[in-house]
Structure 1
């Protein structure tokens, strides 16, 4: 997929904040930050996952599409994502975990990024609970140095690409557009606990 906008500056000149998209920053003075840069209606379900992982424990950043349709126009690839609030938050974070949505009709989480240690801990926690994980293919592996997940103080983050099939299982009736807490399944919270446990032991 070729992005419509090569960076945030281009996007901000054409799209209207709080109408076409919104930005959420929650800083809780943590050394760890959880981000969803393709949230809302861009890659549905990723905002909710990032927000729940962060809770009141970790910093949170969300860039969410609000359009009724054609939200993929708001997609800026991770290596080019340079929204100033995100850059500022990531620059003072030692650990970064980035939540993305991948295509796929089987429930799988592709674990990438340059933080192999955290990636392995996430893999161990997820597989122990019966979630399927796999190595990501080129393009979603999050291994470029300029990927936002790798721009923190450690220069290495963990990127999770979660297939559509897996995300559907996190919401009742597979409804990714309905994000209230009551719509989340037990599996959603099991998944979140796995990620939190991996972060806490690292």
Structure 2
């Protein structure tokens, strides 16, 4: 069970810039890639989301930077209400959230309410050699209308859960207090997701981009953010 059930409650106890940072990078796109449990909360997810977004899509991350105890910063996707990233999600036509789940097997679980995009992700990932499937696990389905991925304008987004086992093969030294090296598996995963999203973006009749004036980044390059210790989170 989460320690905090809202960002307001979290912010009363935790200090921005000391315990967590919020990253928001805008782009001329109707797609947003968000990692709401980045940094030491679900290690590697912020790096993956940032690489997918690149300069193509809007990128947001809530990143735990505590020495230990980053799991305390986890707010479930149905209750995640940090204002900046919530606004980014609401302005987008499609939101893809990147999460980390437990498990030593190399697995990707794809959930959310955007059925077509979800199936295209699963198909493309399988074709590229990843073990991917639609998420049927309780808590990982991403079907709730209140889930962050579904709070976009269309009400249909995608939630991608990446097992710890796979993330360890994507990022060498996952969770260590060192600069971490991205592997060929990391870039293969990123390119697969980008290719599917590029097709999705091409299907939009208008690419007016995000309308929000929100533009904030305490750490413009996530690689410059503190690297979190191995006991930050169990998975």
Same fold (TM over 0.5): yes
Cα distance in 1 between the residues matched to 2:183 and 2:127: 19
What's 1:43 paired with? Answer: 42
What's 1:106 paired with? Answer: 105
Query: Which of residues 188, 191, 194 is equivalent to 1:193?
Result: 191
Assess, with a 3 A threshold, how the Cα gap between structure 1 residues 200 and 42 changes in structure 2: closer, same or farther.
Answer: same
Cα distance in 2 between the residues matched to 1:44 and 1:196: 21
CA shift for structure 1 position 91: 1.2
Partner SS state of residue 152, structure 1:
coil
Query: 5+ residue gaps in structure 1?
Result: none
CA shift for structure 1 position 138: 1.2
Give yes or no for the alignment of 1:63 onto 2:62: yes
Cα distance in 1 between the residues matched to 2:75 and 2:140: 13
- 1:141-173 Cα deviation digits (max 9, x unpaired): 11000001100001010000100000000023x
Structure 1 segment 45-194 matched on structure 2, within 5 A: 45-136=44-135, 137-172=137-172, 174-177=173-176, 180=179, 183-194=181-192
* TM-score, L = length of structure 1: 0.95
CA shift for structure 1 position 41: 0.2
Q: Is the 8 A contact 1:48 1:179 kept in 2?
A: no
Root mean square deviation of aligned Cα: 1.2
Higher RCO (Cα < 8 Å, 6 or more apart):
2
Size of the alignment, in residue pairs?
199
* TM-score, L = length of structure 2: 0.82
